[in-house]
Structure formats: structure tokens, C-alpha cells
Amino acid sequence: MEGTGLRDRQAWPLLAALIAGGVLIYLLRGMLTPFLVAALLAYISDPIADRLEARGLSRTLSVVIVFGTTLGVVIGVAVMLLPLLAHQVDYLVQRVPAIVDWVQRTAVPWMEAHLGVSASRLDVQTLRDAVTQHWQSTGSVAAAVIARATQSGLALVGLITNLALIPVVGFYLLRDWDVLMARIRELLPRSVQGVVGQLGGECNEVVAAFLRGQLLVMLALGVLYSTGLWLVGLNLAILIGMLSGLANIVPYLGFVVGITAASVAAVFQFNDILVPLLLVWAVFGIGQTLEGMVLTPLLVGDRIGLHPVAVIFAVLAGGQLFGFAGVLLALPVAAVIAVLLRHAHDRYVHSTLYHGVAGTDSNAGDTPRDDNPTRD
């Protein structure tokens, strides 16, 4: 009992430090985004830098190569995709009034006939007028936004500073990543190094599986959906494909969002809609099959173990509590919590609290012992 009390007293400072750290993160959540993005980039890139370093390059040169390559890829992709995405967004804007007309002429009568929805509850004409007026004034709205951003020079400088901080902080974190991890391990009490090391290794596997695996799955699906819809001839192929890939951060959400948006776009674009719809469904069917049978087993594996409901809750809770920084951290933190809960569950099912006191279990079926045999 004395040893247990000692361990409990040793755990209180750690618990207090964790609570204080959580409060500090919450208070500083407004400025954490560039640091979190930089830390995630450093974490993802560390294995690549380690491999380059193992080939004889210095750590600094390895980091320069990794960041230079990453920056070049990002700039190249942005140069290629941004004009296409801008064109497709403009096309979508021009089609909004036609979509509202279709809702009024086709969707509303169908809902009245089959669902009993009254058209008086769906003020489609007002919606159409508002949308049309809004998009006609897009130029003036954009000009007002630009003027506001120019007037609010401090906010603009803050945004630029945050963007500039990401590569700078990421560079230094990646360069000193191994040293930082070694320092953290040295600070751990010797009595808990084994347990913490085991938990840290499992958490690293889970988080790495998500960050380096799930993000690759999202990217692969975005490219696959965009290419497939482009081959079908859909005008919004890249926009819908990339949004579907990003939405795949939640299991099956990308599939639902993508196939719904692509089907609606095909209905409005093509006169003979049967063949295009079948092709759109085939694209998403192939993508979903490849994700389940090839991409996820190959790139992610079964190490994350997060239920889809837990994923949705984690993303929403992270965004509600910490904003964009919380969204970035939501799933990695949820994955770590899942590992800790699995270990807590294992310890619980092997504890006396779960099985009962050992002495009680061993004597449960025995006849009560006579402790006073001489009373006769």
C-alpha cells in the first residue's frame, strides 16, 4: 500500500503539468496554427531527412533538400491547379441561377408529389433572386474585401507573418528533431521510461500511420477522382475531385460528398444524363474499391483504429475548442487517446477491480472455515 501511495504522489505533478499545458495551449490557441503546421511538417519529413543523413549528408543539408523539394512541389502544384480551380469556380458561379431554376421547376414539384412538402415552405424565387443579386455584385464585394484588408494593415501583416513562420519554424524543428526527442526522453523519470517508451512507440506508429498514410490516401483519391471525372468530361472535375479527396479525412464522407456533387453536376451539364451518371458512379465505385482494398491497407494499415463517429466528433470538437489549430491536431490527438485508452482497458481487465479480490475469488466456493475448533 505504501508503494502504491508513493506512485500516486509521483503521478500528481505529472497530471498537474498536463493540465497546465492544456490550459496554456487553450489560451494561446490563436497563435498556435503556424507552429502546429510547422511541427506536423517536421514530424512527417523526419524519416526522409534521417534517410538522407544515413547516406552521408549533413543534417542541415538533408533538411534543406527536404524543404526545397517540398516547396518546389507545392509551388508547382499551385501554379498548375489554381488557374484550373479558379476557372471551375467561375463556371460554378455562373451556373448557380440555373441550379436554382432546376430546383424550382423539377425538385420542388417532385418533393410535393412524393414527400408532401409544401412549396410555400420553399421560397425558391426569393433564393434565386438573392443568389443572382449576390453574384452580380461579386466584383464590388471583392473590391470591398480588398479595401478592408488594405485598411486593416495589422491583420494583413499578421497573416503574412504566420505564413512566413511556417517554413522557418519547420526548418529549425526538423534540423533539431532528433536532439529534441532525445532531450525529452532524458527528462523522463527512470521508473517510467519503459512504460512511456512503449506507449510513445505505439502512439508514434498510430500518428505516423495517419499523418503519412491517411494524407497520402486523401491525395491519391483526390487525383484519382479528378482524373476520372475529367475523362468523363465533367467541367467541375478538378474542383469536385479535390474536395472529395479532402473530405476523405472522415471515412466515407469523401465518397458521399463526391458522388453527390458529381451526379448533380452531370445532370446539369449533359443532355443525355444516363451514360454520364453511370460513368460518374463507376469512377467513385472504382475509387472506393481501391481505397478499401489497396490504398488504406498499403498506406495506413489497421493501426489507427478510430471509429468514424469518433473521427467526426474529434474534428468538430477540435475546431470548436481551438479553431483551425484544433482541426489540425484533432485526429492525431484522438489517435493517441485511443492508444492510451486501449492500454487502460488492458490494465483494467487484468486488475483486481475487474476480477475481484484474489482471496475472495479463490475461496468463493469453499466451505467457511471454523476459526475456533476448541469451542466444543
HEC readout, 16-72: HHHHHHHHHHHHCHHHCHHHHHHHHHHHHHHHHHHHHHHCCCCHHHHHHHHHHHHHH
Give the start-to-end residue ranges of the domains of the chain. 26-181
Q: Helices 124-136 and 59-102, interaxial angle, to 10°?
A: 130
Confidence (pTM): 0.65
Q: What is the tens place of the pLDDT at every residue in 36-87?
A: 888 888 888 888 899 999 999 999 999 999 988 988 888 888 888 888 888 8
Check the CA dihedral 126-129-132-133 and report its sign. negative
Shortest CA distance to 248 belongs to which of 294, 217, 272?
217
324, 33 Cβ separation under 8 angstroms: yes
Q: What is the tens place of the pLDDT at every residue in 79-120?
A: 888 888 888 778 777 777 777 777 777 776 766 676 666 655
Cell 467457511 locates to 368
Q: Phi and psi (nearest 5°) for 57? A: -80, 155
Shortest CA distance to 231 belongs to which of 276, 171, 290?
276
Exposed e or buried b per residue across 188-212, where buried means at least 16 C-beta atoms within 10 angstroms of its C-beta: eeeeeeeeeeeebebbeebbbbbbb
Shortest CA distance to 284 belongs to which of 226, 331, 239, 339?
226
Q: Per-residue pLDDT for 367 more than 60?
A: no
Q: Per-residue pLDDT for 245 more than 80?
A: yes
Instruction: Determine which of 163-167, 201-205, 239-243 has the lowest per-residue pLDDT on average.
Output: 201-205
Residue type, 270: F
